[in-house]
Amino acid sequence: MGALLELGEDQQFADVNTLLHAVPVDVVDVAAATTAHAEIAEAVCAVGKHLICAAPMTSSLADTDRVLQAAENAGSTIGVLHNYRYRAPIRKALWLLAEGAVGVPFSIRIDLSEPRRDLHLSARERDWRIHDHPPDRGCWLEQGYHAMYLAREMMGSDIQAMSALTGTFFHPVEVEDHAAALLRHRNGGITCVRTSWAIRAEAAFTVEVAGTSGTLRANGNSGSLSLFRADRGEWENLEVGPTSDVADALRDFFDSLDTRQAPAITGDEARRNLRLLLTAYESARTGRTVTVS
């Protein structure tokens, strides 16, 4: 990676501990494979530094709890990149929902799919999302995680129960390349989620929120956002501005450090979201609807 970024040899390190003791840093951005997040995060906390971590923070609750404990012991601040919520059409949709643009939301549909050609490569050549994944985690870990927090925030209500199905339909891999879940929110609303590496079409990032007085449709890839107002009986295309999701998420985190406030997405919130994600895996494994305690 250092060579790709054209960094000098003195700026490239084989492991995080060497880096932390060789370079004066205040914050570490953890953007490695998910399976490496916990080890790196614990090393960062051990020297009292803050960290912003790609999502999911880890792939297990046990690893997450170790990281949170290490941060508490060291006084380190952890932020997690829930960057999908910063995409321009999603951010504006969240604002419109808070303003009551569609009335009371009761139905959400989320489609997150990305055709993956690299999954047919050898294990050595494959993307880290596969060969560095936990052995039983695939597209749902990568994409379903983001769907969980989008559903919760857009519905304005946490998830009470879920039923999920996973399968491997196209790629020669041992993890799921397609998944779907039906979520029941505590306010009675329903969310339908589809994630996929298998679908043979362009990547999709679409969200539709139906409420008692209208519907919002957002496309996180194209940047489009439309609002249907029931009283007018027509769709309106809305201006949303440019998208800079990761940059905006990082800016929020650095602002929280400057103002000594909690980050927008804390480690505890990331744990909560991961627990929901793993509950969906439990539903897919058992074939049952699972209630979230």
Helix (H) or strand (E) holding 6: none
32-73: pLDDT as tens digits = 888 889 999 999 999 999 999 999 999 899 999 999 999 999
133-147: pLDDT as tens digits = 555 578 999 899 999
Give the domain range for residue 231.
84-243+267-291
pLDDT for 125 beyond 80: no
Distance CA 143, CA 254 (A): 25
230-278: pLDDT as tens digits = 999 999 999 998 878 889 999 999 999 999 999 999 999 999 999 999 9
128 vs 49: which has the higher pLDDT: 49
Tokens of 48: 């009292």
In this prediction, residue 6 carries a pLDDT of 52
Distance CA 95, CA 90 (A): 9
pLDDT (mean) for 190-200: 94
| pTM (two decimals) | 0.89
Strand pairing category for 190-196 and 105-113: parallel
In a domain, 154, yes or no: yes
In this prediction, residue 10 carries a pLDDT of 66
pLDDT for 288 beyond 50: yes
255-268: pLDDT as tens digits = 999 999 999 999 99
Would you report the helix, strand and coil content of the chain in percent, each value rounded to 5? Answer: 40, 25, 35
Residue 38's nearest CA partner among 16, 11, 19 is 16
In a domain, 151, yes or no: yes
In a domain, 3, yes or no: no
Helix (H) or strand (E) holding 165: strand 159-167
Distance CA 225, CA 246 (A): 19
Under a CB-based contact definition with an 8 Å cutoff, are residues 87 and 245 in contact? yes
**Cβ-proximal residues to 155 (8 Å cutoff; 6+ apart), any chain:** 105, 108, 185, 187, 189, 191, 209
Q: Tell me, what CATH number does 149's domain have?
A: 3.30.360.10
Under a CB-based contact definition with an 8 Å cutoff, are residues 64 and 272 in contact? no
In a domain, 67, yes or no: no
In a domain, 262, yes or no: no
Under a CB-based contact definition with an 8 Å cutoff, are residues 258 and 139 in contact? no
The count of structural domains within the chain is: 1
In a domain, 37, yes or no: no
What's the mean per-residue pLDDT of the chain? 89
Tell me the residue type at 279.
T
**Cβ-proximal residues to 23 (8 Å cutoff; 6+ apart), any chain:** none
In a domain, 7, yes or no: no
pLDDT (mean) for 98-114: 97
User: DSSP labels for 100-146?
Assistant: TTTSSEEEEEEEEE---SGGGS-TTTS-HHHHTS-TT--HIIIIIHH
In this prediction, residue 124 carries a pLDDT of 45
In a domain, 255, yes or no: no
Residue with tokens 């957002």: 218
pLDDT (mean) for 15-37: 86
